[in-house]
A and B are shown apart, each in its own frame.
Chain A
């Protein structure tokens, strides 16, 4: 699974970092940042929740 955030759509709600803290981190302004675009199997379910949680729809997942 590969995950990415569209920086043009992200508004820094910071919700992804609560949903999947091992996958996303916030920069100092709260904008989402992907820790490692290749998501380890144990975090993939959390990453899917983060996609559905993002209020702006800024996160994209490509499943293997």
Chain B
């Protein structure tokens, strides 16, 4: 037995301090920090937190995520934290084969055909939000649109449409940053769990046409899922259904509002939106799987790995360095890990893509001419495995271009 740091040194890996919890540069330009990690090759060692390896290229991340027998999500996938923090959400906090037993029945609920029926509802939410922005005359895209669209649509689907969407989104947002220590984690999971438990208990007695009722009807090996597990599954849906889509939409619009040519291209050719979203998601990836724990002795890029070793998957670094020719909205092929890889890939990928596609279509139909105010400097929330844009004020010309208002 030797320490991770000793073995990293023996293998000649570079050592850095990858301090996701405390590096203030992440608040100024997080993507520059991620890009810097690519300079050290596919694997490096970080002395931050409790120490962990960092994988920075696509193939290494793919190999780790596709091999849960060697790289486990247990006891926790949060490998970068100073304190050991367990995220108990099902099925994130599971390995195969147990993971598959819980995940398989969920897959049809989130399949591409199943979610297509939500297109009109999402479009309606998007239009309503733009109506409000027009009535107000000013817009912070993060607050007025990006965080509202997924919250309002997804909460309605889940069965929480009558709750205050702002409050629910704040709760979900706490969960994507609440990893300081176990008591902070447990507190936020308990708060979300109590909202979800109340919903599930109501639907158990009186089912409706919503996701909560569908979860209650699921069976594993012919048996209903116990309430504790359902609360955990529902809590993960509550968090993942709101905050990651919101974060991704915000970065997409930060890019378009600061790159007039790319914005113009979307306006002139909305058919490009699906490809453009893949490209901007690859570049401004803001969520997803974070780390794994080794289960056995093995070797990775010439480094001896021992059971219990922690690895962090720098997916942003990897995705941004797959291609080296800048931003191409129509890039094909375009391979990235933004929705994860392997058995834990984002269950909500099809609904997330649909929401983002509709968000861009509707926005550019109605408000094609927009930009950030002069002198705008983006600030990012950090401290977790992801970053979030704090604010995105947009100026827009509406008198000539809002087709809805003109008609």
Question: Which residues of A are at the interface with B, using a C-beta cutoff of 8 A?
Answer: 9, 11-14, 17-19, 26, 28-30, 49-57
Stretch of B126-134, B334-342, B364-372 that contacts chain A? B334-342
CB distance from B338 to the nearest CB of A (A): 9
Indicate whether B112 reaches chain A with its CB closer than 8 angstroms: yes
- Let me know if B332 and A49 touch, CB within 8 A: yes
Instruction: Knowing A28-B113, A54-B335 are in contact, say whether A11-B108 is a contact too (CB < 8 A).
Output: no
Residues in B with CB closer than 8 Å to A18 are: 274
CB distance from B220 to the nearest CB of A (A): 16
- Let me know if A55 and B335 touch, CB within 8 A: yes
For the A-B complex, the count of residue pairs with Cβ-Cβ distances under 8 Å equals 55
Q: Is the interface of A mostly helix, strand, loop or mixed?
A: loop
Residues in B with CB closer than 8 Å to A53 are: 332-335
Indicate whether B349 reaches chain A with its CB closer than 8 angstroms: yes
Instruction: Knowing A11-B341, A14-B350, A55-B341 are in contact, say whether A19-B108 is a contact too (CB < 8 A).
Output: no
Bound-complex Cα distance A15 to B111 (A): 13
- Let me know if B66 and A14 touch, CB within 8 A: no
CB distance from B129 to the nearest CB of A (A): 27
- Let me know if B108 and A28 touch, CB within 8 A: yes
- Smallest CB-CB separation from A57: which chain B residue? B62
* A-B contact list, 19 entries, CB within 8 Å: A11-B342, A11-B343, A11-B345, A12-B345, A13-B339, A14-B349, A14-B350, A18-B274, A26-B111, A28-B108, A50-B333, A52-B335, A53-B332, A53-B334, A54-B335, A55-B62, A55-B339, A55-B345, A57-B62
Greatest chain A CB density within 10 A among B112, B337, B350 is at B112
Residues in A with CB closer than 8 Å to B342 are: 11, 56
Bound-complex Cα distance A52 to B343 (A): 20
CB distance from B307 to the nearest CB of A (A): 25
CB distance from B224 to the nearest CB of A (A): 21
Bound-complex Cα distance A9 to B342 (A): 8
Greatest chain B CB density within 10 A among A9, A12, A17 is at A12
Residues in B with CB closer than 8 Å to A19 are: 332-333
Indicate whether B107 reaches chain A with its CB closer than 8 angstroms: yes
- Let me know if B112 and A26 touch, CB within 8 A: yes
- Let me know if A13 and B113 touch, CB within 8 A: no
Bound-complex Cα distance A28 to B350 (A): 12
Indicate whether B327 reaches chain A with its CB closer than 8 angstroms: no
- Let me know if A49 and B107 touch, CB within 8 A: no
Bound-complex Cα distance A40 to B48 (A): 53
Within 8 A of A (CB), among B262-309: 274
Closest 4 CB pairs of A and B: A52-B333, A53-B333, A11-B345, A29-B111
- Let me know if A56 and B113 touch, CB within 8 A: no
Residues in A with CB closer than 8 Å to B349 are: 13-14
Bound-complex Cα distance A16 to B107 (A): 18
Residues in B with CB closer than 8 Å to A30 are: 107, 111-112, 350
CB distance from B31 to the nearest CB of A (A): 20
